[in-house]
Amino acid sequence: MTLQKINTRNTVLVLMIVFAVAMRLLTFKFQFMSNFTPVGAIALFGGAYFTDKWKAFLIPVLALFASDMLINSFYHINIFAINYWVYVSFLIMVFIGTMIKNVNVMNVLLASLCGVLVHWLLTDIGPWLHGTLYAKGILGYGESLVAAIPFEKNMILGDLVYGAILFGGFELAKSKYTLLRTKREIAL
């Protein structure tokens, strides 16, 4: 792949991720849309499309971090207040995205469901371990998982909508512009 081709492809991928993160900033004030965000879709998208795996992890994580800082500042929270379990789940979602070798509806749907499952199991560990919301012990963890179901339902919906936009949009762009295809895709 030529340097121009790599730069164009990466630029398009980054711009699509930035656009998706901007959508996250629009939904933070609407409680009913809590967790209806593009974060899972961004992680899967970055993992699936960046040919350099370090970019697949770095760019989506930086996008999440930047949007977290902005959202925290909107809520007047310490901008560096981070739930590390969210980032661990996000990194695992990027890894799941790297496993998508053939982009199609079924593979993206399965990856989205796996990503939401990982997010659901990991993100409530922090509040549960610190005893801020739930009793310590396995029953408290179970309570936190049950309480998270509405948020995870919204995450599934967000992944489906934003996944369709990101994956579908990039696949459409690749079909029109060969400059966005990898060597392997051109050879097929």
Domain extents in the chain: 3-179
69 vs 62: CA distance, rounded Å? 10
145 vs 186: which has the higher pLDDT:
145
- Residue type (1 letter), 68: D
Q: What is the pLDDT of residues 144-171, one digit of tens each?
A: 889 889 889 999 999 999 999 999 999 9
pLDDT of residue 4: 57
Q: If 0-12 CB within 10 Å is exposed, 13-18 middle and 19+ buried, where does residue 90 land?
A: buried
pLDDT of residue 139: 84
What is the C-alpha end-to-end distance of the chain, expressed in Å? 15
pLDDT band at 127 (very low <50, low <70, confident <90, very high): confident
Helix (H) or strand (E) holding 179: none
**Cα–Cα–Cα angle for 82, 123, 23, rounded to 5 degrees:** 70
Q: What is the pLDDT of residues 54-107, one digit of tens each?
A: 999 999 999 998 888 888 777 766 655 667 888 999 999 999 999 999 999 999
pLDDT of residue 28: 66
pLDDT of residue 187: 59
Prediction pTM value: 0.88
Q: What is the mean pLDDT of residues 33-41?
A: 85
